Chain A
Amino acid sequence: MPDATSTFVYVTFIRTTPERLWQALTDAETMRHYWFGMHQAAEWKAGAAWQLIFADGRVADSGEILECDPPHRLVIKWRNEFRDELKAEGYGRCVITLEPIAGAVKLTITHSIDQPESKLIGAVSGGWPRILSNLKSYLETGRLALDPAARP
């Protein structure tokens, strides 16, 4: 990886179908369950505006859907909106891929930005693992791994 880029990769295997996982990744109501009350607002098609919204309605992050190929691949142009030092880094990219593998789906999230030692990537690195653990638990057992009151 060129040193000018910060990248994190998150992989989880979830015993579900790509269709169910895609629905969980794009449906606002389902998202609120495992994303600590937050949800994404977007028309799920390339070129559409995208927002990540706090439980209280404030906009956390915003951007644009760059690619949308259900239930395989989603690419989001992603910028923080509520912390000045993160917003100053500009837009990063979040690539989400779903691959069916032996009765499960391999979900890969690659979050990167053209900034060395990015604060944004550092900030999301605390959130994604908890969101994905919760999502896996929700889809496999119908229960959450973490109390919804515990914020990432």
Chain B
Amino acid sequence: MSDDAVFRALADASRRALLDRLHARNGQTLGELCAGLAMTRQAVTKHLAILEDANLIATQRLGREKLHFINPVPINDIAERWIGKFNRPRLAALAHLKRKLEGENDA
């Protein structure tokens, strides 16, 4: 479960979009995750496998269904290691400023 696997998994817009969908609604099936996406079911399956290998998602079986959950722990590990040593309040202030300047939609 290396940081490399996490960074590699995150270095893809489709996979980040899948994480965003799980962040919006946790515990979705493959079918639900595919709905409205311009990706084949096979492509989504492949991306989910990469995310699971990096421990960025966890899956659980509920009857015949496999549900996908976002797992924030590896990203938190990275944040503690790479960001925690810097000044958190200052970073939060910068992030806030960026949101203000760029509009409220992202960040």
A129: which of B58, B76, B84 is its contact (CB, 8 Å)? B76
A146: which of B71, B75, B84 is its contact (CB, 8 Å)? B84
Q: Which residues of chain B are within 8 angstroms of A8 by Cβ–Cβ distance?
A: 26, 69
Q: How far is the CA of A93 from the CA of B55 in the complex (A)?
A: 23
Chain A residue nearest in CB terms to B28? A1
Q: Which residues of chain A are within 8 angstroms of B28 by Cβ–Cβ distance?
A: 1
Residue picked from B1, B67, B73, most chain A C-beta under 10 Å = B73
Q: Which residues of chain B are within 8 angstroms of A48 by Cβ–Cβ distance?
A: none
Q: How far is the CA of A139 from the CA of B36 in the complex (A)?
A: 43
Encode contact with B along A49-92: 1 for CB under 8 Å, 0 otherwise.
00000000000000000000000000000000000000000000
Chain B residue nearest in CB terms to A13? B1
| Interface size of B in residues (CB-CB distance below 8 Å) | 20
Is the Cβ of A7 less than 8 Å from the Cβ of B84?
Answer: no
Chain A residue nearest in CB terms to B55? A11
Q: How large is the interface on A (under 10, 10 to 19, 20 to 34, 35 or more residues)?
A: 20 to 34
Chain B residue nearest in CB terms to A128? B73
Is the Cβ of A145 less than 8 Å from the Cβ of B81?
Answer: yes
Encode contact with B along A23-60: 1 for CB under 8 Å, 0 otherwise.
00000000000000000000000000000000000000
Encode contact with B along A117-152: 1 for CB under 8 Å, 0 otherwise.
000000001001110111011000000011000000
Encode contact with A along B41-75: 1 for CB under 8 Å, 0 otherwise.
00000000000000100101010000101011111
Q: Which of A1-23 contact B (CB under 8 A)?
A: 1, 5-13
Q: Please tell me if B3 contacts chain A, counting CB pairs below 8 Å.
A: no
B77: which of A9, A108, A136 is its contact (CB, 8 Å)? A136
Is the Cβ of A133 less than 8 Å from the Cβ of B76?
Answer: yes
**In angstroms, how far is the closest chain A Cβ from the Cβ of B75?**
8
Chain B residue nearest in CB terms to A1? B27
**In angstroms, how far is the closest chain B Cβ from the Cβ of A133?**
5
Residue picked from B28, B58, B71, B76, most chain A C-beta under 10 Å = B76
**In angstroms, how far is the closest chain B Cβ from the Cβ of A116?**
11
Q: Which 6 A-B pairs have the closest CB atoms?
A: A1-B27, A129-B76, A9-B69, A145-B80, A9-B58, A13-B1
List 18 contacting pairs A-B, 8 Å CB cutoff, sorted by A.
A1-B27, A6-B26, A7-B69, A8-B26, A9-B26, A9-B69, A10-B58, A10-B72, A11-B71, A12-B55, A12-B74, A13-B1, A128-B73, A129-B72, A137-B80, A145-B77, A145-B84, A146-B80
